[in-house]
Amino acid sequence: MMDQPLTPEEYQKLLDLGNQNMGLDNQIAMQQKQADMLRQGNRPDMRQAGRLTVAPHWMELVGGLAREGVGNRVANQAMQGQNTKVGNMGMQNNLLLKALMGNQRLSQPGTPTVTNYPNLADGAM
């Protein structure tokens, strides 16, 4: 079992993350479309009644604001789904890197590989 880079549980997690991301793609696209439709609703405008110009009823104005608020909430849900997808992709990348690299030790980004630094307190430079 030590010669396998990933455990069976890690392989299963990798597959599960991919499947979850596929579902998130569809959900995010649908939520974005719904949010756009709600936010682009027809706002009530002034209208002509014979020779008079009449303002929209206050309930029409409230309805437009409510549609816009719901559209913003749906857009926020889509953004949360996108954040979840990005997190899943990070976990997938880590598992794939582990699978590809096997048991090799990976140096962290930004970690120096040289370990013999001169001691500056001794005046070495």
**In a structure prediction context, what are the per-residue pLDDT tens digits for the chain, which is 125 residues long?**
445 678 888 889 888 988 888 889 899 999 999 999 888 877 778 888 889 999 988 998 898 889 999 999 999 999 999 999 999 999 998 888 888 877 565 555 655 554 555 555 555 55
Find out whether 34 and 78 touch, Cβ atoms under 8 Å: no
Locate the domains of the chain by residue range. Answer: 8-104
